[in-house]
């Protein structure tokens, strides 16, 4: 699976915008600025990882054959689950990311529906 870097992924059209080099993407990552990594099998995008840092650490879009998201997973850094000071984080898990929620989308006779699962099990 190959990876490509972009400034943005348009969810409506299922296309990337603003190609970046790996070096440019690393610079954005180090500065905690938003960018996108697209993982492809051949020429077909399978996953889009949107690095956000401020709202969530990152969001992973699992794409269907039409380049639309079918599963969306949001990840956060451990200190976001407690507070920005890191107080209360169990030892050994700092600087790790954790699944915050998972949304599954599907199309039925009525139209698009989705289920949102949070880490609390709701």
Residue-range domain boundaries for the chain = 2-118
Q: Band the pLDDT of 40: cuts 50, 70, 90.
A: very high
Q: What is the mean pLDDT of the chain?
A: 81
pLDDT (mean) for 95-113:
75
Element (H, E) at 19: strand 15-20
User: What is the pTM assigned to this prediction?
Assistant: 0.76
- pLDDT exceeds cutoff 70 at 9: yes
Q: Band the pLDDT of 38: cuts 50, 70, 90.
A: very high
Q: Band the pLDDT of 5: cuts 50, 70, 90.
A: very high
- pLDDT exceeds cutoff 60 at 121: no
d(CA 39, CA 19): 14
Residues 104, 69 contacting (CB under 8 angstroms): no
pLDDT (mean) for 82-100:
63
Across 47-51, 53-57, 85-89, 110-114, least confident range: 85-89
């Amino acid at each position: 699976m190959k990876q490509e870097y972009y400034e943005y992924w348009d969810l409506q059209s299922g296309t990337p915008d603003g190609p970046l080099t790996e070096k440019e993407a690393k610079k954005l990552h180090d500065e905690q600025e938003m960018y996108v990594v697209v993982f492809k099998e051949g020429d077909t995008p399978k996953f889009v990882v949107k690095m956000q840092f401020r709202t969530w650490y990152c969001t992973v879009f699992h794409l269907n054959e039409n380049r639309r998201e079918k599963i969306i997973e949001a990840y956060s850094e451990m200190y976001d689950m407690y507070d920005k000071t890191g107080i209360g984080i169990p030892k050994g898990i700092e600087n790790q990311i954790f699944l915050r929620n998972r949304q599954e989308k599907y199309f039925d006779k009525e139209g698009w529906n989705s289920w949102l699962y949070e880490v609390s099990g709701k």
